[in-house]
Chain A
């Protein structure tokens, strides 16, 4: 039972255009969401996060949108650059969890073409 799903295994966009990566979740207890980027042979790198009390968080070229009623979040990258090519994971955490436990989606491989 996947509580966090990234339904697009891959996405290809042209340099300079917008990349939109999507993530859906089923557990209504999730109230904090994070996006990580992962290059081959490296560990995931934190990108941006959002709390459920917000519907948008922006950091430079990266913006995360949260739609709680739809249990859906998305990561927008504008403009996309070839160096953004990587696997992107969304992750979620629940307030009722006393410690650190992130539930990850399966990842989306983003390819930005020059």
Chain B
């Protein structure tokens, strides 16, 4: 079955702009989580959506937001982009809790802010 699909793969934006990233989870998976990976920082949790509701949120400023649609597809939005937002943004889908099931990751969207 198809894996997690993230679009676009690469994006270049200017400081101050906003950006929207998209994630289509594995069919049947209702949980979608977003992570930011920067050099030397590992993966940092942004937020998780389950059945169109934000269920968890990491320690990121309000410029980072997301939503989930009824078909479980999710979007992440970053407003007023800063240079430090340049990172690989990864989306992961799970059946439900990571406690008993592993999260499957997409290939990520590489965002560069100039």
A residues with CB within 8 A of B: 6, 31-32, 34, 36, 41-46, 49, 89, 91, 93, 95, 97-107
Contacts and interface: CB of A to CB of B under 8 A. Distances in A.
A93 B101 CA distance: 11
A34 B102 contact: yes
B40 A101 contact: no
B42 interface: yes
Nearest to B32: A100
A97 B60 CA distance: 18
A43 B105 contact: yes
Contacts of A99: 31, 48, 50, 55-56, 97
Interface residues of B, number: 31
Interface SS of chain A:
loop
B33 interface: yes
B108 interface: yes
- The SS class assigned to the B binding surface is strand
Contacts, number: 81
Given A43-B105, A101-B98, 6 more contacts: A34-B103, A95-B99, A99-B48, A99-B55, A99-B56, A102-B103
A6 B44 CA distance: 14
Contacts of B56: 97-101
A95 B97 CA distance: 10
A101 B42 contact: no
A92 B4 CA distance: 21
A32 to B, nearest CB: 5
